[in-house]
């Protein structure tokens, strides 16, 4: 409150609101006008010459080729997986229906007198499990190792032994794309189980000792583990013919002798009934290259007859 006696100060009077007429502003119109903009652009660029067009064409071509190569990588690593998964599913379904429809003759007791499977190229005849790769690692193995067969899944080399047969049951599989069944083959260690199921039998193969483990195997604490029962360097149990057969090896693509009945021995020095029952897996090495081959050898340690609801205890390993 102002002190008494003083007259109130006059308040300023608000001036009346002044109405300013709208000014027409054509700056924006001009700025966003296509013609205006284009003209400016054309002024800035040099005229289209043949050289300019050529350089741009080459540049765009190179970018396009780069995109195509990238797309090929996507195809190779992902799309082929999808295509192969479908084929693998079909093959497994066909195998399941075959197994459930035809009658089973129980396997003979003598492991050296197995009934031969009737293998048809491109058709699945066995299922393969590697428990250390997880429960979901299962593939139906087809007969034949051409590109067409291997798109379906791991392929059995024709004319090599059948599952559980003396000799070398040899399987090839892709490491990159096409379902990549053998993607992690390099991670298999000695004594890891590879389980193969046919219509009548389960066969448990175990990876042989690696070349670095062969020398001290007997004193290696690993050899005492239950998983390693029946696994020993083959040179100590079966003689020198098997000296080169170890758990894992990397060879040249031309070294087909790794899938011989006795690996690396093309002239079979051991009669068939004295040969070990081996499993050999082959894939490309290094990954994304076909310069070499990665080979894994395993030996059969156990077999079980197929029975309803029975799953080998080895399947829960890993």
Partner 1 sequence: MYGWIWRHLPGPLYLRVVEAVVLVVGIVALLMFVVFPWAEPKLPFNNVTTQ
Site residues, partner 1 (CB under 8 A): 56-57, 60-61, 64, 68, 71-72, 75-76, 79, 145, 147, 150, 155, 157, 172-178, 182, 251, 253-256, 258-259, 282-284, 288-290, 293, 295
Evaluate whether 198 touches 117 at the Cβ level (below 8 Å). Answer: yes
CB of 170 to partner 1, least distance (A): 9
What six digits make up the tokens of 122?
């491109």
Which residue carries 């039998």 as its tokens?
A: 201
Question: How far is the C-alpha of 209 from the C-alpha of 246, rounded, in Å?
Answer: 6
Q: Reduce the DSSP state of residue 185 to 3 states and report it.
A: helix
Residue 59 or 134: which CB sits closer to partner 1? 59
How many C-beta neighbours within 10 Å does residue 63 have? 10
Question: How far is the C-alpha of 303 from the C-alpha of 313, rounded, in Å?
Answer: 11
What six digits make up the tokens of 139?
């593939």
Residue 169 or 217: which CB sits closer to partner 1? 169
How many C-beta neighbours within 10 Å does residue 279 have? 26
Pairing of strands 277-285, 292-305: antiparallel
CB of 60 to partner 1, least distance (A): 5
CB of 84 to partner 1, least distance (A): 12
CB of 209 to partner 1, least distance (A): 22
CB of 288 to partner 1, least distance (A): 6
Residue 172 or 278: which CB sits closer to partner 1? 172
CB of 149 to partner 1, least distance (A): 10
Evaluate whether 113 touches 105 at the Cβ level (below 8 Å). Answer: no
Question: How far is the C-alpha of 130 from the C-alpha of 205, rounded, in Å?
Answer: 10
Nearest to 283 by CA among 155, 160, 164: 155
């Amino acid at each position: 409150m102002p002190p008494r006696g003083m007259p109130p100060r006059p308040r300023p009077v608000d001036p009346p609101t002044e109405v300013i007429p709208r000014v027409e502003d054509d700056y924006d119109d001009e700025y966003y006008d296509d013609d205006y903009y284009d003209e400016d652009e054309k002024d800035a660029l040099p005229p289209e010459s043949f050289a300019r067009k050529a350089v741009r064409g080459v540049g765009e071509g190179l970018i396009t080729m780069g995109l195509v190569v990238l797309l090929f990588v996507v195809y190779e690593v992902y799309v082929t997986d999808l295509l192969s998964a479908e084929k693998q599913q079909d093959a497994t379904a066909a195998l399941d229906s075959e197994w459930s429809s035809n009658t089973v003759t129980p396997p003979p007791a003598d492991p050296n007198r197995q009934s031969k499977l009737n293998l048809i190229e491109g058709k699945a005849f066995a299922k393969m499990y590697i428990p250390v790769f997880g429960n979901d690692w299962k593939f139906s193995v087809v007969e034949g190792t051409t590109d067409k067969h291997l798109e379906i899944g791991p392929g059995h080399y024709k004319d090599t032994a059948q599952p559980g047969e003396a000799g070398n049951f040899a399987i090839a599989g892709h490491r990159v794309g096409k379902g990549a069944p053998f993607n992690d083959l390099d991670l298999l260690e000695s004594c890891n189980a590879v389980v193969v199921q046919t219509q009548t039998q389960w066969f448990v193969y175990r990876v042989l000792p690696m070349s670095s483990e062969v020398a001290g195997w007997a004193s290696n604490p690993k050899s005492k583990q239950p998983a390693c029962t029946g696994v020993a360097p083959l040179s100590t149990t079966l003689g020198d013919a098997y000296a080169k057969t170890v758990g894992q090896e990397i060879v040249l693509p031309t070294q087909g002798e790794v899938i011989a009945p006795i690996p690396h021995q093309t002239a079979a020095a051991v009669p068939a009934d004295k040969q070990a029952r081996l499993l050999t897996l082959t894939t490309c090495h290094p990954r994304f290259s076909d310069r070499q081959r990665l080979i894994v050898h395993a030996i059969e340690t156990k077999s079980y007859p197929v029975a309803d609801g029975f799953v080998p205890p080895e399947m829960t390993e890993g």
